[in-house]
Amino acid sequence: MGATGYAGSEVLRLAASHPDLDIVLATGSSSVGKRIGEHVPALAGAYPDLVAVESSAILSVDLDVVFLALPHGESQAFVPQLADRGTAVVDLGADFRLRSADEYAQWYGHEHRATHLLSQSVYGLVERHRDEIKGASLIAVPGCYPTASALALGPFIDNGVIEREQIVVNALSGVSGAGRATSERLHFSRLAGNAEAYGLLTHRHTPEMQQELGATLLFTPHLLPVSRGMLVSAYGRLRAPAFTTEEALALLRATYAKDPCVVVTDEAPTLKDPLGSNLCFVSARVDKRTGWLLAMSSLDNLGKGAAGQSIQAWNVATGREETLGLPLAGVTP
């Protein structure tokens, strides 16, 4: 669902190389009746005859799993019916990520209409919830910013290396993270050669990060004039001043030793390292002078930050090889 949006079309791109995913139908409210390849020419070779249909068609076909890539608030209209039919759901949207209906209403501006399913959804960040995801039938795929931030900060919070208060997260993102719908901020004449902070103090990924990390943080996202990619620099106050950069890197390596989609690097990751892949690059530094730890990460906001992560979680949920159908090499240059 939402196959003609950026995240939805990326799910289709990755599914084309997945041996166990056969696309039965694709919905796209703005492109009903058009071939997917007309709307997204990059997919014409993989899906020459796939036509976008109305959203309601999802409830008239026998399906094993539905991937939803819809704006926030829209998944709630379909997930209860899909659950009643016994159809597995992988939701790339925000509707089932937060555990609290009140918190959802506070940050998203409207009441949640399927609160009975909030406790049944599993947060789809595989590296931190692998066991919970196994066998799950409702997976809430994390947002791109929370994914990059949790993978960078999580090991240090979980192990008591940094305080759970006064954490600062600064993030840079490509414009595809804003979705296909245009706005004044996304006009070429404003975006090109520019950089802009947005969602100041109120970005909706903030409660998701705090829920996942069990911490309080200040989050500031920034928009860059690139199509895709994400780079996070996060700061936490050290609890043990003697902790070193070498120990920080060793902790990251130990934490992610068995995680094929996380790469720990000595050097600071760059925006381009993971592009086109399902990888997240992480690194860290300790500043003894100020007593702060700097945690860094980069990922493709449409890959590990959305579509790739959704397929990775579905692979785990269904007992498949975690990386099945997923690219583990980025595109360079």
Percent of the chain as helix, strand, coil, to the nearest 5: 35, 20, 50
Question: Does 144 qualify as catalytic in the annotation?
Answer: yes
Q: From CA 40, how far away is CA 130, in angstroms rounded?
A: 33
Query: How many CB atoms neighbour CB 321 within 10 A?
Result: 11
Burial class (CB in 10 A: 0-12, 13-18, 19+), 331: exposed
How far, in Å, CA of 35 to CA of 4, rounded?
10
Q: How far is CA 46 from CA 36, 43, 64, in A?
A: 10, 5, 21
Under 8 Å between Cβ of 273 and 298: yes
Report the distance separating Cα 197 and Cα 175, nearest Å.
Answer: 12
Count CB neighbours of 218 within 10 A.
Answer: 13
Contact 230, 282 (CB under 8 A): no
Question: C-alpha distances in angstroms, 140 versus 96, 118, 119, 152, 320?
Answer: 5, 10, 11, 20, 18
- Extended strands (E) in the chain: 26-27, 52-53, 65-68, 88-91, 122-123, 138-140, 167-173, 196-197, 217-223, 230-237, 262-264, 280-287, 292-299
Considering 3, 136, 144, 213, which one is annotated as catalytic? 144
Strands 196-197 and 217-223: antiparallel
Active site residues: 144
